[in-house]
Amino acid sequence: MIAAGLFHDSDIDGPGGDIGVTGSLDGQNDGLWCQSSLNWNMIGTWYYPDGTTVPLGSAHGYYNPSPLFANNTATGQIGLLRTGGIASIQGLYSCVIPNEEGINQTLYVAAYGNGDFLKDGELPKIDVSGSSFQLLSSVDADPPVFSLSFNVTNRSPTIVTCSFDNGNQFNVSDNDLIRTVTPVNNDVQVQVSVIFRMRVSGLYKCSVTTDRITTTPLVSTNMAMRNVIATGSPSNLVYSGDSLLSVTLGWSPSAVISATPQYHVFVNNSNSIIMNDNTTNTELSLSLRPDDEYNIRLVATGEDLPSEIINVTVPQ
């Protein structure tokens, strides 16, 4: 996101030069430059927020289109340069330019006037009908990794804030945030996936915020919500030796849950050879070698999140 005073059609700032900012010339036209790793001439295209093409102009021309024009005379890049005010065409611009493999990529830039841009119609909106839940990690991961996914329209959020039942809010870090941008009717829809790394039942809530320029962030009035339930953990995992080559595992069932629990058994020996099996019963017979030690993990599934993992060791 960038204010109009930060890009021009001439060398204004380096790096200052915005309204009320003192800078020095740096020998570069201060446009928005969309760069490719390909050293091609006449590369790339800029588009207005309504999807129409920004007209081309000359880097040093006196009759360039107003208020904006594109310039692709520099090798491997195309600039978006300003010759007038953009009050009537503020919004999300896009640049389409090929990558090193010649495949077109799209860069989105939100360009606004120099003043505060407070407009209710520009608040990011969460599509509450699109909220979904996805378990991302393997069933025996500890802790599990899961995500709350939802769509945002009316501009891309810059901040995603989430909380669960205890009410503690936290800003989602870049490491736990995935955004996928899709053009929809000359606007954009952003699919946001927030990754959680915990095993806590409760109501998870996420809201989105946008920083326009320097104003107080604008917070969406709606939020994505998903009630997440962790499967009750089985208990009392024990084994009995049926013979020198087999054992029978037994355990107490998980707490009452809405679905029939599935029990997953993971077996590791000293050579890290992994066996796994699953059952809806509360016992399972396994064939083992008598000359090795085995670590057995048991986890139940049935609700959104797998249960806590319980362990037992079968000695040699």
Query: What's the pLDDT tens digit per position in 74-84?
Result: 888 888 888 87
Q: Is 166 left (phi over 0), alpha (psi -120 to 50) or beta?
A: alpha
Cβ-contact 263, 247 below 8 angstroms: no
Domain boundary among the residues 112, 140, 159 is at: 112
Average pLDDT in the chain: 78
Q: In terms of Cα–Cα distance, which of 23, 46, 92 is closest to 5?
A: 23
**Domain span at 174:** 121-228
Residue 206 has pLDDT above 80, yes or no: yes
Residues 174 and 206 reside in one and the same domain: yes
The helices-and-strands tally (H runs, E runs) of the chain is: 0, 23
Domain boundary among the residues 63, 93, 112 is at: 112
Residues 184 and 126 reside in one and the same domain: yes
DSSP 2-71: EEGGG--SS---SS--STT------SS--SEEEE-SS--SS--EEE-TTSPBPPB--TT-SS--SSEEEE
pLDDT band at 147 (very low <50, low <70, confident <90, very high): very high
For 268-294, how does the pLDDT look when each residue is reduced to its tens digit (9 = 90+)? 876 666 667 777 888 888 777 777 788
Residues 86 and 149 reside in one and the same domain: no
Predicted local distance difference test score (pLDDT) of residue 46: 93
Which residues, 6+ apart, have CB-to-CB distance to 101 below 8 Å?
A: none
Per the structure, the count of domains in the chain is 3
- Measured in residues, the chain has a length of 316
For 217-226, how does the pLDDT look when each residue is reduced to its tens digit (9 = 90+)? 666 668 888 9
Residues 13 and 51 reside in one and the same domain: yes
Higher pLDDT, 154 or 216: 154
Mean pLDDT along residues 64-85: 84
Residues 8 and 105 reside in one and the same domain: yes
Q: Give this prediction's pTM.
A: 0.63
Residues 98 and 189 reside in one and the same domain: no
Mean pLDDT along residues 40-66: 82
CATH code of residue 270: 2.60.40.10
Strands 169-171 and 159-163 come out as: antiparallel
Domain boundary among the residues 179, 198, 228 is at: 228
CATH code of residue 176: 2.60.40
Predicted local distance difference test score (pLDDT) of residue 20: 46
Predicted local distance difference test score (pLDDT) of residue 270: 66
**Percent share of the chain, pLDDT over 70:** 75
Mean pLDDT is lowest, of 11-20, 94-103, 256-265, for: 11-20
For 106-133, how does the pLDDT look when each residue is reduced to its tens digit (9 = 90+)? 888 877 766 545 555 567 788 878 789 9
Q: Which amino acid is at 37?
A: S
Mean pLDDT along residues 260-274: 77
Residues 224 and 294 reside in one and the same domain: no
For 27-46, how does the pLDDT look when each residue is reduced to its tens digit (9 = 90+)? 556 778 888 888 888 889 99
Residues 36 and 108 reside in one and the same domain: yes
For 166-192, how does the pLDDT look when each residue is reduced to its tens digit (9 = 90+)? 667 888 888 888 888 776 665 667 888
Predicted local distance difference test score (pLDDT) of residue 53: 93
How many angstroms separate the CA atoms of 185 and 145, rounded?
34
Residues 170 and 211 reside in one and the same domain: yes
Residues 166 and 130 reside in one and the same domain: yes
Residues 190 and 143 reside in one and the same domain: yes
Predicted local distance difference test score (pLDDT) of residue 240: 83
Residues 78 and 157 reside in one and the same domain: no
